[in-house]
Every structure is written in C-alpha cells, then in structure tokens.
Amino acid sequence: MFSKYKKAAPPQKPTLVPASNGARDTQPKPAAPAAPAPAAPKAMRKPMAPAKPGVPVAADKNRKRKERLGEIKLELHRALLDNLNLAALDSASEQDLRMEINSIATEVLQEKGIVLNREERSQLNQELYDEVKGLGPLESLLKDDTIADILVNGPQQIFIERNGKLELSDVTFKDERHLLRIIDKIVSAVGRRVDESNPYVDARLQDGSRFNAMVPPIAVDGSLVSIRKFKKDKLGIDELVKFGAFSEEMAAYLQAAVACRLNVIVSGGTGSGKTTTLNALSSFIDNSERILTIEDTAELQLQQTHVGRMESRPANVEGKGAVSQRDCLRNALRMRPDRIIVGETRGEEVIDMLQAMNTGHDGSMTTIHANSARDGVSRLENMVAMAGIEMPLKAVRSQIASAVHLIVQASRLQDGSRRMVSITEVTGMEGEVISMQEVFRFQRVGLAPDGKIIGHYTATGVRSHYSERFKQWGYDLPPQIFEPIAAE
Ligand SMILES: Nc1ncnc2c1ncn2[C@@H]1O[C@H](COP(=O)(O)OP(=O)(O)OP(=O)(O)O)[C@@H](O)[C@H]1O
Ligand SMILES: [Mg+2]
C-alpha cells in the first residue's frame, strides 16, 4: 500500500535497510531475520519488543545513550530519504505516512539490534515524521506556543525567544545541507527559490508565521533564518493593559484617538510590539467602517466585519509580477475605504500614505521602525526623500505635520518586557520644525535585583491638543487622565 511513497529502488543503492528487506514494496515480506513474524503487511509495523524496564543510569551513560540516539536518528533520516519517494508524499495520508515511517524505523532498529523504550520510540517517530513531512528540527519549535521568534544562525545554533528573552535552544540541524533542504522546502512551497544567485527570501509559512532566510555566500557562517511566529490570538487592549504594556488611562486616551479618527503611527524597534499594538488599536474602530489593510506579510487580525486584506508580492524568479505595498495602496484608494491600515511603512508607499491621511482617509494607521517619536518623523522625511520626491524639506515637514496626529512609541526593554514608552501628539509646525508634545510616558525609576525594570506610566501634564475634537466626538475624557503621577 505504500509503494507509491517509495522510490523505485536504484540498482545496488546502498541502504541501511537489510538486503532481505531492502527493496521495499507492497508485497508482504517476512520481517527481519531475527523476528520471524507473520508475513502480513502489519508485520512491518509490529510493535517493538518492550524496552527493558528503565534501570537508573549514570549521567555519563545517559549522555552516551543520547549521543547514540542522535546517531541513530541521522542514520534513520538517511534511510528514510533513501527509501521514500518524497514527491509522492504530498498525497499520502498522515496515518499512512506515520505507519510507513514506523515500519522503516522498526527494520533499521531491529537490524542494528537497538532497543528503545516506548517514549524514545515515539519521539523518534515524531522527529522522523517532522523531517519528512514538516520542517524538520524547526517543527517542534513552531508547535511550541510559548516561543515567539526562532532565529537560526547556521545549522548548529538555533535561538528562540520566550517571554521577551532570547535563549539558545538544544535543537540543531545535522549540517548546512540539512538546513538548506528545509529552507528550500519552505520557499518552494510558496513558489520561490533561494540559491547563490538569489540568496535571500521572504515567505509566509502555512500557519501564517513570517519567514526570512539568507543563504551562503552572503550568509557567511551558514544560512540565517528568522521566523516570527504567528500568534493565533493576538493580544488585545485588555491583555496589553494587564501585561503592563500601557496603562488604563493610556488605553482610554487611545480609544478616543482612534474613534475620533486621528491618524496614528506606531513607532518602534524590531520586535518591539508594533504590529501587536496596531492590531490592538484597530479594535477601537467602529464595526460599521470599511477598513482596508495592506501588508508585506499578512499578520493583522482585525475583528471588524468589513475588512479587505491585501498582501504585497515580490517579483517571481523571472523578475516579474511584483505588486508593491504602494501599488496596493494606490488601488486601495479606489476601493472606497473608510480607513487604511498599512502594516509597516518602509519605502515609497510613504507618499501615498501621507496623502491618504491628508485627504479624507483620516483615521488611518501604520507602523514605522524608529526609536522615538522625533526619530519617527525624521524617518518619514527620509522615506519621502528616498522615494525621489523633489520637495523642499519644509513642504515635506508640513505635509507630515498635517497628516500624522499621534505617534505611539513601542519598545522592548532590557528585561524583555514590551512597553508603550511614549504617546506623542504632533501639534503642527513652528517655523521649519514639526512641533510635538508628549502626553504619556513610561517613567523608569530603577532596576530590581532580579533585573526587572521598575517604573510606572504617567501623563506628562500637558493638555491634549485634541481635547476639543474628543469632546466634539463625544469622548469627554476626565481631566485626571492627564494628571502626572509623581514617582514614589
Ligand atoms: N506587550 C506585550 N507583551 C508580551 N508580548 C508581546 C507584547 N507585544 C508584543 N508581544 C509579542 O512580541 C512579539 C513581537 O511582536 P510584534 O510582531 O508586534 O513586533 P513588531 O515590532 O511588529 O516586530 P517587527 O519589527 O519584526 O515587525 C510577538 O510574538 C508578540 O506576540
Ligand atoms: Mg511587525
């Protein structure tokens, strides 16, 4: 029944499977010589002889056993790759494939006289399955919901991020070829290619996770892979307040700002929580509005009913078919949006974004990479300049000043916590300079012995530039929200 998943055995191909069983086919075969089992197909899947009851072993013995297991795994991987017809696997049912893997593993283990306990055996089978069907060593990390990011620096080093902290995992690839094979598997599934002439690639995994890879020779010490795991349940406003990402007062202010259609930019460093914040802020948009989202990799999960999602597309291998965020944005303007949300503004689309914000699509939102509100504005200026728009700086600035109302600064602090460290209003122009005022900030006061940052959120005491607008829209925020909290 599994012959379709099996490669036609090349003559004299060296394999780990014993000669008597080497040419696997659908015919029932006697099992390994040591075990004269009934000649039914099930014989191949005969459960292993029960492992000897676990004897307490010394650490050294344990380590040796682990090493041995690692070697067996490598051999089995090879045996599987030699024996399975990988192209036919796509149509294989999970159950069939698991049975086939189990049967090959049983043969090899029997041939080598290796006895594994039930737990080791099922772990081995799972790893082999992941190798053949999934993304190999990455699979277990992808399934672990406590992991947010996976960062591969060559085959022997895989870092993971948990609770905002990076740690080295104990998972590795066999070698660079193994890593390249998994990368290739991911990118070819989305119709891309990565090789020496095309050494980096962006893709989206099946589960929605964001994937980037760069291969040698550009990646000097082996391929570099970065994965931002897709979080099925994005953090909402309540959770963010609960986790201390911002205060209730800030949440009330942001609710008013989004509902009153202020144009908001979420600024922050890489992995600081920009997309999460943007997503949470979008929950304040009224359900009756038509929202169009534009992203390079679709990550946003809006709760509203009337949402149109767009994802840009890079050129294909022939260099054709690219659809940029700017193309999507231009088209979006013809699609009668009430609001436009651009996942991240990083290039020429900035022009259209600013124009949209200035011309009737207020209430639009985006994120940018910057370390402070002031930096964010300079970044916007630079992006406009790099888009080739010849405009005097003052004109660019005044366009930014009238387009952007609010900059929310997200940051990942050294203790791994992600916080909204500042909310700044853009109030207009003073001469050649864009004027801004900070309304809320995270006041850092010290460091606890366990490395946690001590601090609190506070208003800065300035009156919101948009108070009147809030009032007109029915959001009469209590004045206490804007009162600063003194440090203890
Ligand atoms: N306040 C928070 N508390 C805990 N985890 C958070 C918080 N904000 C974001 N995260 C988690 O941090 C990770 C990075 O968040 P996010 O994708 O929003 O960052 P980003 O700034 O958009 O990153 P990038 O620059 O790569 O686009 C995600 O796994 C997210 O779930
Ligand atoms: Mg992001």
Tell me the per-residue pLDDT of 434-457, one tens digit each, with 9 for 90 and over: 999 999 999 999 999 998 999 999
Confirm or reject: Cβ of 268 under 6 Å from ligand 1.
yes
Please give the Cα distance from 129 to 431 (Å, whole number): 65
Three-state DSSP at 454 gives strand
Q: Would you state the structure tokens that stand for residue 342, as one six-digit string? A: 């651009």
Q: How far is the CA of 274 from the centre of ligand 1 (A)?
A: 6
Q: What is the mean pLDDT of residues 428-437?
A: 95
274 lines ligand 1 (CB under 6 A): yes
Give the model's pLDDT for residue 470.
Answer: 95
Residue 472's pLDDT band (cuts 50, 70, 90): very high
- Is the minimum distance from the CB of 273 to ligand 1 under 6 angstroms? yes
Residues paired with 454 in a beta bridge: 446
pLDDT of the residue at 88: 65
- Cβ atoms of 158 and 168 within 8 Å: the answer is yes
CB atoms within 10 A of CB 363: 24
372 CA → ligand 1 middle, Å:
17
Q: Concatenated DSSP letters for 376-418?
A: HHHHHHHHHHHTT----HHHHHHHHHHH--EEEEEEE-TTS-E
Q: Which atom of ligand 1 is nearest to the CA of 272?
A: 21
Sign of CA dihedral 246, 369, 425, 289: negative
As a whole number of angstroms, the distance between CA 297 and CA 295 comes to 5
How far away, in angstroms, is 297 Cα from ligand 1 center?
15
Quote the crossing angle between the two packed helices 94-112 and 118-133, to the nearest 10°: 120
- Beta-bridge mates of residue 225: 152, 213
Closest atom, ligand 1, to C-alpha of 277: 18
3-state secondary structure of 148: strand
Distance 292 CA to ligand 1 centre (A): 22
Residue nearest to atom 2 of ligand 1 (CA): 418
Q: Is the pLDDT of residue 20 over 70?
A: no
Ligand 1 mean position to 329 CA, how many Å? 24
Q: What type of residue is 408?
A: V
Phi first, then psi: what are they for 224, rounded to 5°? -110, 130
> Is the distance from the beta carbon of residue 228 to the nearest atom of ligand 1 less than 6 Å?
yes
- Give pLDDT tens digits for 99-117: 888 888 888 888 878 788 8
> Could you tell which of 160, 368, 418 is best to mutate to test the pocket of ligand 1, judged by most ligand atoms within 8 Å of the CB?
418
| Integer Cα distance of 190 and 457 in angstroms | 44
> Ligand 1 center to residue 118 CA distance, Å?
39
Residue 39 has pLDDT above 60, yes or no: no
Which residues hold their Cβ within 5 A of ligand 2, which is an ion? Answer: 274-275
Torsional class of 348: left (φ above 0), alpha (ψ -120 to 50), beta (otherwise)? alpha
pLDDT recorded at residue 49: 40
CA distance 405 to 281: 15
Ordered by where they begin, the domains of the chain are 3-45+62-133 (no CATH), 140-228 (3.30.450.370), 237-482 (3.40.50.300)
Q: Ligand 1 atom closest to Cα of 245?
A: 1
Is the backbone of residue 474 left (phi > 0), alpha (psi -120 to 50) or beta?
A: left
The DSSP-derived string for 57-95 is --HHHHHHHHHHHHHHHHHHHHHHHHHB-GGGGGGS-HH
**What is the distance, to the nearest Å, from the Cα of residue 289 to the centroid of all Cα atoms in its chain?**
28
The pLDDT score that the predictor gives to residue 7 is 53
- pLDDT of amino acid 456: 95
Task: Please identify, by atom number, the ligand 1 atom nearest to the C-alpha of residue 299.
Answer: 17
For 142-182, how does the pLDDT look when each residue is reduced to its tens digit (9 = 90+)?
999 999 999 999 999 999 999 888 999 988 888 898 899 89
CA of 124 to the centre of ligand 2 (A): 36
Q: What is the DSSP letter of 112?
A: H
- Exposed, middle or buried by CB within 10 Å (0-12, 13-18, 19+), for 343? buried
